[in-house]
Amino acid sequence: MTSSSDAATALFESAIKGERRSLGKLLTAIERGGRQAEIIADLAHQVSGNTHVVGITGAPGSGKSTLTGRLLKLFSEAGDKLAVLAVDPSSPLTGGAILGDRIRMDDLAGEESFIRSMATRGHSGGLALAVPAAIQLFDAVGYEPVIIETVGVGQVEVDVAGAADTTVVVVTPGMGDAVQANKAGLLEVADIFVVNKSDRPGASDARRDLELMLDLGHVSGLEQMTGYRPPIIMANSLDGIGADEVLDAIKSHAEYLRNSGKIHIRRKERLVMEIQNRVELLIGSTASDILESELGAGYIANVLNRKISPAEAAKSIVGSILTKK
């Protein structure tokens, strides 16, 4: 245990000094999980909590990577040393993945920036399990801001809003009518809207539907509750059109969060969520161990024989975890 702790500490110290390869290895260890990942997360947590985290989300093919590439260029040109975490899905069948976000970013990255591709490895919700720890690690070694690009999402994958300070939702023309825009889910968590591919037919319709959706938030009282109305930016990321406006909107939103004190609320909520997730993980893995044990086989047999219900078995298992020291 001490040797793995020493190895992690040595890698962490060298990553703080700017050794990119060490940071690459630390990210791998975080993804792999286990004791080593915990040690790294502990080290990172102590010195993190400062960087601004921007989440970019939207449907597959909406232009998230291309927009991220543009932002990478603008932030780099402004002298920021930023990190990008690009998440793509793992195959549910084989666990393999094609991580192809870099092809839209590499040419635009400054020498100081750091791009890491990450597969979801079975996690749903638009992000990978290792994302929060990876963000803390980037933060700890001095990257500012950190951009997370989610997998292509549908209506409900809103994990990114919990992980990010500023959530950018990318939509494209033809995403549906005003009723679609008013459904609960993804569109609700946006701090900034980007209507990408704005040269295509229907772009102004998309904008109008979003404006209308936000207007109704004004009527319903949601806007007063949040005290903020997300801007809508028309963009064509392939040509770089609108990217500077997105950058300005991210900076304004960061300023709004700081001035209103909401940044503290968001960050506290994020840490609470991380604790909750880790509790669920711990209990979940202990429960899996029990199910694979002799004790678990007994429960399974009783459920199969209709002697007890799955809910009763679950309660008993959780009970045995809680009474165990």
Partner 1 sequence: MSDHQRRVILAKLGLDGHDRGIKVVARILRDAGMEVIYLGLRQTTASIVAAAEEEDADAIGLSMHNAGHLTLGPKMAEAITAAGLDIPLIIGGIVPDEDVEELMNAGIAAVLGPGAAAEEVVATVQDAISARDKA
Residues that bind partner 1 (CB under 8 A): 20-21, 23-25, 27-28, 31-32, 90-91, 94-100, 102-103, 106, 114-117, 119, 121
Q: Coil, helix or strand for 85?
A: strand
In the bound state with partner 1, the residue whose beta carbon lies nearer, of 99 and 295, is 99
C-alpha 47: how far from its chain's center?
20
Q: Coil, helix or strand for 168?
A: strand
In the bound state with partner 1, the residue whose beta carbon lies nearer, of 80 and 211, is 80
Min CB(132)–partner 1 separation in Å = 19
Min CB(102)–partner 1 separation in Å = 6
DSSP string, 112-157: T-EEEEEE-TT--SSS-TTHHHHHHHHHHTT-BSEEEEPPP--SS-
CB 196 within 8 A of CB 171: yes
Min CB(121)–partner 1 separation in Å = 7
Min CB(292)–partner 1 separation in Å = 17
In the bound state with partner 1, the residue whose beta carbon lies nearer, of 130 and 161, is 130
The end-to-end CA distance of the chain, in Å, is: 22
In the bound state with partner 1, the residue whose beta carbon lies nearer, of 121 and 266, is 121
In the bound state with partner 1, the residue whose beta carbon lies nearer, of 22 and 51, is 22
Q: Coil, helix or strand for 58?
A: strand
Interatomic CA distance for residues 194 and 17, integer angstroms: 36
In the bound state with partner 1, the residue whose beta carbon lies nearer, of 91 and 309, is 91
Min CB(73)–partner 1 separation in Å = 15
Q: How many CA atoms lie within 13 A of 222 on its CB side?
A: 12
Interatomic CA distance for residues 59 and 96, integer angstroms: 21
CB 202 within 8 A of CB 173: yes
Place of tokens 């591709």: 117
Interatomic CA distance for residues 222 and 41, integer angstroms: 36
Min CB(138)–partner 1 separation in Å = 11
Min CB(229)–partner 1 separation in Å = 37
In the bound state with partner 1, the residue whose beta carbon lies nearer, of 100 and 298, is 100
